[in-house]
Amino acid sequence: MTANAAPTSDRELILTRLIDAPRETLYRAWTEPELMKQWFAPLPWTTPVIETDVRPGGSSLIVMRGPDGTEFPNPGVYLEVVKNERLVFTDAYTKAWEPSEKPFFTGIITFEDEGGKTRYTARALHWTVADREAHEKMGFHEGWGQCADQLAALVAKL
Amino acid sequence: MTANAAPTSDRELILTRLIDAPRETLYRAWTEPELMKQWFAPLPWTTPVIETDVRPGGSSLIVMRGPDGTEFPNPGVYLEVVKNERLVFTDAYTKAWEPSEKPFFTGIITFEDEGGKTRYTARALHWTVADREAHEKMGFHEGWGQCADQLAALVAKL
């Protein structure tokens, strides 16, 4: 349940879980701000502001707040949206199609039926090996792993 | 007719022309490989290979060939497609959604009705000021300008 799949390139990080919830519920938890706020940051971090315009070219804004109150805004843009199946977004643009200060990664989230549960896979594709390494050192596996636990706990209640 | 509009930021280059052809014809010239090959490189450069999968997330491949025969492949991805109105593409991905070696620019092409002609505007948005400057030194205005002349000459015959 906590195994990480093998990344397909040295610029990619990947996390996958089998979660006991329908794809539709996981998709809601990934797109509806009020649900996202309940799991999207690894506690004690929080996400006081989440805005999602879930369509290709739509903007997203996720403000992360650290334990000391410092806030980190993360603007991005959705590149591809397949309801209940797939979300692709990137921080390479702050809105359609304004280049950000620094293209860091592209996220690909997939939800697949698997034995009555859902195979949840989150991939982070970076432009450079250095950025993949930095993301890993920032705690990708621990952070996204803890968030996946929070996500699984939330959807179990929905 | 040859004036350049004011760029909206120091990371942007822009070229605009009033062209005596309908939007639909200009859009065809920008999306159909056999038409693109007739104007897309500033002669004596040519484009022996052009492939276009014109949809958001679709790939494009443009191979430019210099006077000495050296070929330069330019893979990219369409981000937004509004038929006869607007095309957005970038070299930040080689295909959906594989990050390229180097995100250099995003192109936004618009076709607007203006007094029985078409206002053609090509914008190049870069991630850094240095890349905008490099693009300018590579001959953006001369190159894209010459191509716009070639485009106008082609659509006049269609």
- Span B77-105, average pLDDT: 97
Q: How confident is the model at residue B6 (pLDDT cuts 50, 70, 90)?
A: low
Q: Give the whole-angstrom CA distance, residue A131 versus residue A116.
A: 36
Interface predicted TM-score of the whole assembly (ipTM), two decimals: 0.91
Helix or strand holding residue B113 (H, E): strand B105-114
| Domain contains A23 | yes
Q: Which domain holds residue B158?
A: 14-57+129-158
- Asked if A79 is an interface residue toward chain B (Cβ–Cβ < 8 A), one would say yes
- Contact yes or no for B19/B81 (Cβ under 8 A): no
The string of pLDDT tens digits covering residues A20-73 is 999 999 999 999 999 999 999 999 999 999 999 999 999 999 999 999 999 999
A126/B99 Cβ within 8 A? yes
| Domain contains A43 | yes
For residue B51, the domain's CATH number is 3.30.530.20
Q: Assign 3-class secondary structure to A1-17.
A: CCCCCCCCCCCEEEEEE
pLDDT at B135 over 90: yes
CB-facing half-sphere around the CA of A12: CA atoms within 13 A: 17
| Domain contains A3 | no
| Domain contains B42 | yes
How many domains is chain A built from? Answer: 1
Nearest residue in B to A87, CA atom: B97
Question: How near does any CA of chain B get to the CA of A43, in Å?
Answer: 30
| Domain contains B93 | no
pLDDT at A1 over 90: no
Question: How near does any CA of chain A get to the CA of B8, in Å?
Answer: 11
| Domain contains A25 | yes
Question: Which residues are within 8 A (CB) of A16 and not within 5 positions of it... i.e. 6 or more apart?
Answer: A3, A4, A5, A119, A120, A121, A122
Helix axes A140-157, A129-137, angle to 10 degrees: 60
pLDDT at B55 over 90: yes
| Domain contains A39 | yes
SS3 at position B30:
helix
pLDDT at A4 over 70: no
**Taking a contact as any Cβ pair under 8 Å apart, which residues of chain A between 92 and 131 contact chain B?**
92-93, 96-103, 106, 108, 125-127
Q: Give the whole-angstrom CA distance, residue A8 versus residue A25.
A: 28
B127/A102 Cβ within 8 A? yes
Residue of B80, B93, B126 with shortest CB distance to A96 = B80
Q: Which residues of A touch B7 (CB under 8 A)?
A: none
Q: What are phi and psi of B117, to 5 degrees?
A: -115, -165
